[in-house]
Structure 1
Amino acid sequence: MNVQAGGGGGDAGAPPAWEIRKLHILRTLRERETVTATAEALRMTPSAVSQQLTNLARQLGVTLLEADGRRVRLTGAAHLVLRHAEAVFAQLERADAELAGYLHGEAGEVRVAAFSTAVPALVVPAVLRLRRSHPALDVRVREAEAAEAYELLAAGAVDLALSLAAHAPSARDPRFAVVPLLTDPLDVALPAGHPLASSPGLRLADLAGEPWIFGGSGPWSEITTAACEAAGFIPEQAHIASGWTAILAMVEAEMGVALVPRMAAVRREGVVMRELSADRPYRHVVAAVRRGAEGGAGVSRVLSALRESSPTPALPAVTCAAPPRGLRG
C-alpha cells in the first residue's frame, strides 16, 4: 500500500496520503451504508463523496469500495484502513484535549447532550456546582434522546452525551468511551389513599392486581413490563403515557400505579412514592465521549461534577449484572 501522496517515493515535504477528511468520509460511509446518506450527514454532494473516496483509493493503491446491487460495500482493505484510522482519530482527540487545556486552563466550553429527565436531576446541579468552582468553564446543554445524542457526539456537535446504559454504544465501538455515572432506583408511585401507600415491606409483586400506567412502546414500556415479569406477573396496562407529569397526574387521580425513576420523580400532594423493599428494579445512566477526549480538562471537570451531583452513584459492575433483561437502561 503506497502511503505517499501522489505515489511519490518519500519526499519529506509531501502531504500525507491518508488525509483525515477522506478517512472521516470513509468511516461515515461505513456507518451510514450509502453514499447518499453519507453525503447528507456530512453536508456534501454524493458526487463529492464519491470523488473523495476515489482519490483516497488511488492514493493508497487499493480498492476501497465494491458494488453490492445498487449500493456499495467496503472491501477488506477499507476495513483494515479504518482499523488504523480509529487510532489516528483518537490521537487527534487527545491532541485537541491537551491543546484546549494548555490554551484555556480553567476556561473553555463543554457541550453536553442529555435525555430529558437527566437535565434537571443531574446536569443542572452539575452546572451550578461548576459555576461556583470553575466560573470560566462554559457548559452548553442540549436536550436529546440517545440516538440523536450519539449522532451529535460522532459529528463533533457535542463533547459529552448522557443516556441510559441500554442505549449507549457498545464497548467494542472504537469511536466512544463510556463512563458510568449513576444507578437510578425505580420507585412505585401510588395514590395517597391507596391501601398499600403505607404498607411496610412493599414488594412489586404486591401490586400484581393493580391497573398500571406506562408508555405504549419504547424503553420505558420495556422496563416496566420486564420489572413486573421478573416479579412474577404481567402488568395490566390501564393507561398509556410517556411523560412523567402526565403519569403522576393520573396516579394522583387514582387511575393506576406506575414505576418512576427516582431522578424523574416530582412531588405531588396526592401521590406517595414508595421504595420497594425487595426485587427493586433500577436503570443505569452513563456518559459517553469521543475516544481520546476523556482526558480533556473541561470534559473531565464536567464528568466529575456530574458524579458529585449524582444522588445514587453507579453501582459496581458485579452488582449491576443482576437485573433482568430490559432493566439495564
Structure 2
Amino acid sequence: MVEWDIRKLQILRTLRERGTVTATAEALRMTPSAVSQQLTNLSKQLGVPLLEAQGRRVRLTDAARLVLRHAEAVFEQLERADAELAAYVQGEAGEVRVGAFSTAVPALVVPAVRALREAHPALTVRVREAEAQEAYELLGAGEVDLALSLAAQAPSAADPRFSSVPLLADPLDLALPRDHPLAAARRVRLADLAAEPWIFGGSGPWSDITRAACEAAGFRPHQGHSAAGWTAILAMVEAGMGVALVPRMAAVRREGVVMRELAIDRPRRHVLAAVRRGAEAGAAGRALGALREVAAGLG
C-alpha cells in the first residue's frame, strides 16, 4: 500500500491553485527547488507522473488530478480534526471527570453540568461521588480531572501537583427538634447547646468540623449518637435524640426539624475545587468556571 504524505499532497494542491512552482514556493515559504524536489519524491512514492512540461511551465497530469480528488476528502477530514482539537484545547469539547463529595453534587455539580450543557454541548461531564479526602487522591491518580473537597482535607497550597480555587464558605446551621426549647428562641448560640447530646460521625471531616466548631464556642460536644449520612442525622434530630450542625448545602426539609442560623459563632466549612496544574485552560477549566458561577450564586 502507498504511504501517503500529507505535506507533499498539500504542495501538489497548492500548485494546482497557484499555477506555477514559483508561486507555490512563495505561498508555502519554500524555495522553488524544494517544491520541485518534494513533488518529484511524491511522484516516485505514488508510482505515477504528476507533472508534465507545458512550455516554461508545468501542468498537473490526469493522475495528479485523480490523486487530488481523493485527497480533498482527507483535507476536509483534517480540517474537522483541527477544529475539534482546537475546541478541545479551549475547553469547548471533550470530557471532564469530576470527583465531588456527596452534598456538593446536588448543590454545585448538577447546576454546573446543566449550564455546561447549554453553553458547551460538545463537552461531556462525568461525575463520581467521593469522600472529601478521596477526591484529591483520585485527582492525583489521574482518575478525575477536577476535585471538589473541603479546605480541611486539601493538600498544602504549596503542592506543585494542583491548582486550587476557593468556591464557597458554606454556613453550618443548627438542626433542632421542632419542640426543642431553643427552636423558637430569638437568638441561638452554640454555647447554649453545650449540655445537649450531639449527633455526628465517629471520625472523618465532619467529626473534625463539629468538634472544632463546638470547641471554638467554649465546650467539648458530647457525642450522643454517631452517623455519617445527613438523612440519618436529621431523622435522629427529628426524633429528639440530639442536635447537630448541618451544612446549608446539605439541609433537607423535614417536618420535625427546625434549622436555625447561629447568631454569633457562625461556623462555616470551606469548599475548594482543584485541577492538576496546567489543566486550567482545557475542559477542566470550563467546568471549574461553571462551578465558580454556581457557587457565586449560593454565596
Normalised to the residue count of structure 2, the TM-score between the two structures is 0.68
- 1:309 aligns to what? 294
Residue 132 of structure 1 aligns to a residue whose secondary structure is: helix
1:119 equivalent in structure 2: 105
1:141 maps to: 127
Aligned CA-pair RMSD: 1.8
Identity of aligned residues (%): 77
Q: Say whether residues 1:131 and 2:117 are aligned partners.
A: yes
Q: Which secondary structure state, in structure 2, belongs to the residue aligned with residue 295 of structure 1?
A: coil
Match of 2:214, SS? helix
Cα distance between partner residues in 2 of 1:175 and 1:289 = 9
Following TM superposition, by how much is the alpha carbon of 1:263 offset from its aligned partner in structure 2, in angstroms?
0.6
Contact 1:190 1:257 in 2 (8 A): yes
Measured in 1, the distance between the counterparts of 2:90 and 2:209 equals 43
Cα distance 1:214–1:99, how it changes in 2: closer, same or farther (>3 A)?
Answer: same
The residue type paired with residue 256 of structure 1 is: G
Secondary structure of 2:187's counterpart equals: coil
Alignment correspondent of 2:164: 178
Larger Rg: 2
Q: Which amino acid aligns with 1:179?
A: V
Distance in 2, Cα, partners of 1:271 & 1:113: 30
Q: Is 1:269 the counterpart of 2:255 in the alignment?
A: yes
Alignment of 1:58-69 (within 5 A): none
- 2:177 aligns with one of 163, 182, 191: 191
Runs of 4+ in 1 over 6 A off after TM superposition: none
Distance 2:91 2:167 in 1: 25
Q: Secondary structure at the match of 1:182?
A: strand
Task: Give the CA deviation at 1:137.
Answer: 1.4
Q: Name the CA shift for 1:100/1:201 in 2 (closer, same or farther; >3 Å).
A: farther
SS in 2 for 1:119: helix
Q: In structure 1, what residue type is equivalent to 2:290?
A: A
> Aligned to 2:112, what secondary structure does the other structure show?
helix
Contact 2:91 2:286 in 1 (8 A): no
> What amino acid is the match of 1:117?
T
CA distance in structure 1 between the partners assigned to 2:237 and 2:91 by the alignment: 49
Deviation at 1:116, TM superposition (A): 1.2
Partners of 2:96 and 2:86 in 1: CA distance: 11
Displacement of 1:195 in angstroms is 1.2
Summarize the Cα distance change of 1:282–1:159 in structure 2 as closer, same or farther, 3 Å threshold: same
Q: What letter is aligned with 1:252?
A: E
The answer for unaligned runs of 5 or more in structure 1 is 1-97, 314-329
CA distance in 2, matches of 1:187, 1:169: 27
Cα offset, 1:102, TM superposition: 5.5
Distance in 2 (alpha carbons) for counterparts of 1:134 and 1:239:
46
